[in-house]
Structure 1
Amino acid sequence: MQADTRADVFGDIFVVFLGLGTLVGIVVVAYTLYNAYKYRDTDQPKDDSLPTLGELPTGGKGGKKLFLSFGISAIIVISLVIWTYGMLLYVEDPQDEFEQDPIEVDITGEGFAWHFEYENGVEATNTLNVPADRPVAIEVTSGDVWHTFGIADLRVKADAIPGEYDETWFMAEEAGAQHEIKCYELCGDFHSNMVGTVQVMEQDEFDTWLDDQLTLEVTLEDENEEPVTDGYELQLVHQNNDEYEADLEYTYTADDFENGTITIDEIEQGGTYDLTITSDDDSFDTIEESVDITSPSSETYTIETSGTEDTNDETDETDETNSETNDDGGEN
């Protein structure tokens, strides 16, 4: 059975408290009205067994009723406290109840915006995409001042404090629904603008979206902005490759390019990559760059071939020779 969402848990607690409160209220009010009517002031002679005004009751059946009412009340209250405490423990750490591993997202409140980072390194701002019917574990912090991350519809709230990390979770049930993210801590001039959106997707749609974020398009062109189609190799290596089980190193030759352009969509982990483009025959200098791959991106690199450099060198040598010849002629 699928674990309850936070909204379900708090909804159940509310319904139980409302039901018990209503039941107790009805019993108390009904019993009060009953006794008010039973012992109303009439002209009929009073029962000698009833205490008169100012006289203390002597016990008997009245004492048994009082003990019974206190006993029932104690059982109800203690049972309610234990049940509620158990439900709140589930809200705090329901890991054993999950059928699927949670989606983990790091959240940072900074610059009156919400920044999200998924497990695979994908980053987004102010839009949190999540799959339906799957728990989402979040770790919240702040990069500047104190904020509070909250999704009212999903009963989620977590403090975002610089240097501290607040962990909680939620689960959205309806695919296609949107929920508003707000800051619930007065944080500055643009506090009211610090909003975002939770976009709930089907699991397959979410997986596709997450994979599509880690794409890099690379275009190679010459000085005339014409595509370069052969004679090179491109290598991508994650700067923190040693920290992951998978080997985050990718190599492509000119044959993998189409008219000087390649779209790399097999990247498993986002982050900063070292990009190296080398010549097969040393016809151009090696290109070395750092590329952040946390969302779809595109890079264009201009290759200056050695032939152009040689032509320039020959032109420079010719100019130097002519200059020397002119100088000699002047001396003669």
Structure 2
Amino acid sequence: MEVLPHGTRVDVFENIFLVFLGLGTLVGIVVIAYTLYNAYKYRDTEERDDAEEDLPSVGELPTGGKGGKKLFLSFGLSAIIVISLVVWTYGMLLYVEDPGLDNPNDDALEIEIEGFAFDWNYYYENGLETSSVGSGDGMVIPADTPIMIDVTATDVWHTFGISDLRVKADAKPGEHSETWFVAEEPGTYTAECFELCGPGHSDMDSPVEVMPQDEYDAWVDEQLTMTITLEDEAEERITDGFELALEHQENDEFDDDLSVTYSDDEFENGSITIGEIEQGGPYDLAITFEDDEYEEIEETVSFTGPVDETYTVEDPDADDEDDEGEDEDEDEEEPDNDTEDADDTNDDTTEDGGDDE
């Protein structure tokens, strides 16, 4: 399916440039040639006799020229060329603004870009999140795929742009700018901020990694990987008698059911690596145990990249034993208190007897 009938943004702007360059060169050649021709034709020579020339007088319109046909032809051709050029260019620019990728069947990848001082965050439609902070991945995209971007900012006005891909969009707080681009060649590009935004403006750049489709799919699978491990308080693996349940917090908003359940049989030595989840985001995690052997675990997992979590289970009987131990300690302390009270009473009695004497 031909997703982009007029090519990429790079193709569009190169075509516009080449058309203007070609027409400009052609018009320049014609004008210069015609000027040189007339300069040669009407050059001043000794054979010329001004008396025999039918020259116009001051204030008199010249005659001849075959009734103005040349003038009409030149103006007509110029008007046709200029109007055609304007209409064609305007149509190509409209295509740049809206390439017609709103159809869900089109093979376009949507990414939300958030600018802040002085880095970029990227939010993918499948729930993944990447960033240019530190040694982050930056933007990772497949080659030969239309990329629809929605750009905004959280603090001040920035401008997101990739010079080599002819794409640029304003990033304003509270506003969204939408545009698109296609990277045909795999490689590493650089996204920059093109709006002076503060002392770190010159360092506000981000890597843009363009991968072949198969490598990009492998990267996505690697990002959407969750490893869960269960241990007891002695750091021994829990291998049986439990069940793991995961459900996306926005499950109702998706067409597919984003809830999965895994039994202890699917764990290997108390650990499981989940790779079949295709939608990231916040998940509710629940681990229940048979016969209430351990306390149930309930957590929220932010599945926006690779997750590797180890959960330490607690024995509910251990808490009861601790409570009983505390009660026994309190009981042992009570006789001491009674003894102290008795000593205090004896002291008071002795003092009273001394006073009576």
> What secondary structure, in the 3-state scheme, does the structure 2 residue paired with 1:63 have?
helix
**Partner letter of residue 243 of structure 2?**
E
Give the equivalent residue in structure 2 for 1:75.
80
Give the equivalent residue in structure 1 for 2:9.
6
**Partner letter of residue 141 of structure 1?**
T
Structure 2 residue 112 is matched with structure 1 residue 101:
no
Is 1:100–1:134's contact at 8 Å kept on the other side of the alignment? no
> Which residue, out of 126, 136, 154, partners 1:120?
126
* Residue 306 (structure 1) shift: 2.3
Is 2:3–2:106's contact at 8 Å kept on the other side of the alignment? no
**Partner letter of residue 208 of structure 2?**
V
* Residue 328 (structure 1) shift: 7.0
- Between the aligned partners of 2:44 and 2:317, the Cα distance in structure 1 is 118
Give the equivalent residue in structure 2 for 1:37.
40
Give the equivalent residue in structure 2 for 1:185.
195
> What secondary structure, in the 3-state scheme, does the structure 2 residue paired with 1:292 have?
strand
* Residue 284 (structure 1) shift: 2.4
> What secondary structure, in the 3-state scheme, does the structure 1 residue paired with 2:209 have?
strand
Per mean C-alpha deviation after superposition, the further-off stretch among 220-229 and 55-64 is 55-64
- The verdict on how the C-alpha distance between 1:252 and 1:97 changes in structure 2, with shifts beyond 3 A counting, is closer
1:266-296: CA deviations, max 9, x gaps? 2221111111222211122222221110011
Superposition TM-score, scaled by structure 1 size:
0.91
- Between the aligned partners of 1:77 and 1:142, the Cα distance in structure 2 is 40
Per mean C-alpha deviation after superposition, the further-off stretch among 12-21 and 285-294 is 285-294
Give the equivalent residue in structure 2 for 1:138.
149
**Partner letter of residue 74 of structure 1?**
A
**Partner letter of residue 122 of structure 1?**
L
Per mean C-alpha deviation after superposition, the further-off stretch among 282-291 and 92-101 is 92-101
Give the equivalent residue in structure 2 for 1:147.
158
Give the equivalent residue in structure 1 for 2:140.
129
1:50-89 equivalences in 2 (<5 Å) = 50-51=55-56, 56-61=61-66, 63-89=68-94
- Between the aligned partners of 1:54 and 1:39, the Cα distance in structure 2 is 22
* Residue 324 (structure 1) shift: 4.8
Give the equivalent residue in structure 2 for 1:287.
297
**Partner letter of residue 116 of structure 1?**
Y
* Residue 59 (structure 1) shift: 4.6
> What secondary structure, in the 3-state scheme, does the structure 1 residue paired with 2:175 have?
coil
Give the equivalent residue in structure 1 for 2:262.
252
> Which residue, out of 185, 204, 207, partners 2:217?
207
Is 2:101–2:108's contact at 8 Å kept on the other side of the alignment? no
* Residue 224 (structure 1) shift: 2.1
- Between the aligned partners of 2:271 and 2:239, the Cα distance in structure 1 is 8
- Between the aligned partners of 1:30 and 1:41, the Cα distance in structure 2 is 19
* Residue 2 (structure 1) shift: 6.0
Structure 1, gaps ≥5 residues long: none
- Between the aligned partners of 1:285 and 1:96, the Cα distance in structure 2 is 50
1:161-310 equivalences in 2 (<5 Å) = 161-175=172-186, 177-310=187-320
Is 1:160–1:166's contact at 8 Å kept on the other side of the alignment? yes
* Residue 221 (structure 1) shift: 1.6
1:111-140: CA deviations, max 9, x gaps? 311111111111111321111111111111
Is 2:192–2:206's contact at 8 Å kept on the other side of the alignment? yes
- Between the aligned partners of 2:66 and 2:289, the Cα distance in structure 1 is 102
> Which residue, out of 95, 99, 117, partners 1:111?
117
**Partner letter of residue 21 of structure 2?**
L
**Partner letter of residue 126 of structure 2?**
N
Structure 2 residue 325 is matched with structure 1 residue 315:
yes
- The verdict on how the C-alpha distance between 1:309 and 1:96 changes in structure 2, with shifts beyond 3 A counting, is closer
Structure 2 residue 19 is matched with structure 1 residue 16:
yes
> Which residue, out of 158, 162, 169, partners 1:158?
169
For the aligned residue pairs, the C-alpha RMSD in angstroms reads 2.4
- Between the aligned partners of 1:122 and 1:181, the Cα distance in structure 2 is 19
* Residue 192 (structure 1) shift: 0.9
- Between the aligned partners of 2:185 and 2:161, the Cα distance in structure 1 is 19
- Between the aligned partners of 1:294 and 1:320, the Cα distance in structure 2 is 49
Is 2:115–2:171's contact at 8 Å kept on the other side of the alignment? yes
- Between the aligned partners of 1:300 and 1:96, the Cα distance in structure 2 is 42
- Between the aligned partners of 1:60 and 1:33, the Cα distance in structure 2 is 19
Is 2:3–2:107's contact at 8 Å kept on the other side of the alignment? no
Is 1:150–1:184's contact at 8 Å kept on the other side of the alignment? yes
Per mean C-alpha deviation after superposition, the further-off stretch among 26-35 and 200-209 is 200-209
Superposition TM-score, scaled by structure 2 size:
0.85
> What secondary structure, in the 3-state scheme, does the structure 2 residue paired with 1:319 have?
helix
> What secondary structure, in the 3-state scheme, does the structure 2 residue paired with 1:95 have?
coil
Larger Rg: 2
- Between the aligned partners of 2:320 and 2:148, the Cα distance in structure 1 is 59
